[in-house]
Amino acid sequence: MRVKVDQPKCVASGQCVLAAPAVFDQDDDGIVQVLVDRPEAVHHEDVRESVAVCPAAAIWLEEE
């Protein structure tokens, strides 16, 4: 699994950070940042939840 984000689309809702805090963070303006772009399997479910709850469709996955 590879995590991709589109920062210009992000609306700083922080949903990804709540769902997968090990994988996502926010910059000073609340914009999404990826901490680990190839998360370990243990985080995959949380990452999928982040994708599902992101209101701006700013996060997607490339399965490898």
Partner 1 sequence: MTETETETVTTATTPTPHAEYPMARATGCPFDPPPALREQRDGGPISRVRLWDGSAPWLITRHDQVRALLGDPRISADPSRPGYPHRDAGAKARAGTRQTFITMDDPGHARLRRMVTAPFAIKKVEAMRPAIQRIVDDLLDTMLAAPGPVDLVEAFALPLPSLVICELLGVPYEKHDFFQKHTKVLVRRNGDPQEVIAASEALIDYLEDLLTDKLAEPGDDILSDLATKRVATGELTAREAAEMGSLLLAAGHETTANMIALGTVALLQHPDQLALLRDGDDPKEIAAAVEELLRYLTIVHFGRLRVAVEDIEIGGVTLRAGDGVICAADIANRDPELFPDPDRLDLTRDARRHIAFGFGVHQCLGQPLARVELQVVYSTLYRRIPTLALATGVDQLRFKHDGVIYGVYELPVTW
As measured in angstroms, the least distance from the Cβ of 5 to partner 1 is 15
As measured in angstroms, the least distance from the Cβ of 25 to partner 1 is 8
Q: Which amino acid is at 1?
A: M
Q: Which amino acid is at 6?
A: D
Alpha carbon distance 41, 27 (integer Å): 25
Residue closer to partner 1 (CB basis): 18 or 35: 18
Please report, as ranges, the residues that interact with partner 1 according to CB under 8 A. Answer: 8, 11-14, 17-19, 26, 28-31, 49, 52-53, 55-57
Alpha carbon distance 32, 5 (integer Å): 8
